[in-house]
């Protein structure tokens, strides 16, 4: 008698959360989830996300995947990503951005803080601050640009997915470099866990 196996799932995610999606998948014990990522650099170019996702979903369909989950929040697309999800009848992670779903969307919305002056750091940003922020923004060559880019920020809030003292120190160094007050909040993977569990379960 053939075992009733779950349908294979293609998760198309932001490269910034690839490590976390894999960790959640391992934590949940799924063996039928396949991960593909769009470039993390799209964080700097959110207008590229929706067209790239459209192409990635079509590619997944061509490969035979009928069950697809979008590993992005809105992430600055201004609703364009939702249009792609609706077009292909797929779901995405709820929330405006990864900072929200890591914290937990409900908690983020209920927080007595508008976060307008908060620069968020995740494990990914702590790990890749030099290559993902400092160099692309030219801050390594022109530190005077810090005031231009970060003048309206007052603090750096590290939303930690893991308890890692090395990443904590890297996040603290990033805050110091930017001239911001440093805070740390352990979130774990937040709403990413139930989102993956629901999509793959």
Residues contacting 98, CB < 8 A, separation 6+: 14, 16, 17, 73, 75, 122
What is the total count of domains within the chain?
Answer: 2
Mean pLDDT of 179-186: 97
Residue 25's H or E segment, with its range, is: helix 18-28
Q: In DSSP terms, which residues pair with 182 in a beta bridge?
A: 156
Residue of 192 and 5 predicted with greater confidence: 192
pLDDT of residue 111: 87
Query: Is residue 89 exposed (0-12), middle (13-18) or buried (19+ Cβ within 10 Å)?
Result: exposed
The model's pTM = 0.92
Domain of residue 38, residue span: 9-97+190-200
Residues 120 and 74 in one domain: no
Question: How many residues are given for the chain?
Answer: 201
Reply yes or no on whether the pLDDT at 89 is more than 50: yes
Pair (77, 43) in one structural domain: yes
The reply to whether 120 and 88 lie within a common domain is: no
> Per-residue pLDDT tens for 13-36?
999 999 999 999 999 999 999 999
pLDDT tens-place string over residues 117-175: 999 999 999 999 999 999 999 998 998 898 889 999 999 999 999 999 999 999 999 99
Q: What is the pLDDT of residue 2?
A: 46
CA–CA separation, 92 and 71 (whole Å): 6
């Amino acid at each position: 008698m053939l075992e009733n196996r779950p349908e294979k799932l293609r998760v198309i995610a932001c490269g910034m959360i690839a490590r976390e999606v894999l960790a959640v998948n391992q934590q949940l014990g799924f063996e039928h989830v396949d991960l593909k990522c769009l470039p993390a650099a799209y964080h700097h170019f959110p207008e590229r996300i929706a067209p790239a996702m459209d192409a990635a979903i079509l590619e997944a369909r061509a490969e035979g995947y009928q069950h697809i989950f979008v590993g992005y929040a809105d992430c600055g697309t201004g609703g364009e990503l939702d249009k792609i999800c609706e077009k292909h009848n797929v779901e995405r992670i709820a929330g405006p951005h990864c900072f929200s779903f890591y914290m937990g969307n409900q908690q983020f919305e209920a927080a007595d803080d508008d976060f307008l002056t908060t620069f968020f750091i995740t494990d990914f940003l702590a790990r890749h601050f030099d290559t993902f922020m400092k160099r692309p923004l030219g801050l390594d060559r022109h530190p005077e640009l810090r005031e231009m880019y970060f003048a309206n920020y007052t603090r750096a809030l590290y939303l930690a997915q893991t308890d890692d003292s090395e990443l904590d120190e890297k996040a603290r160094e990033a805050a110091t470099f930017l001239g911001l007050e440093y805070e740390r909040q352990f979130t774990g993977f937040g709403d990413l866990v139930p989102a993956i569990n629901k999509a793959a379960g």
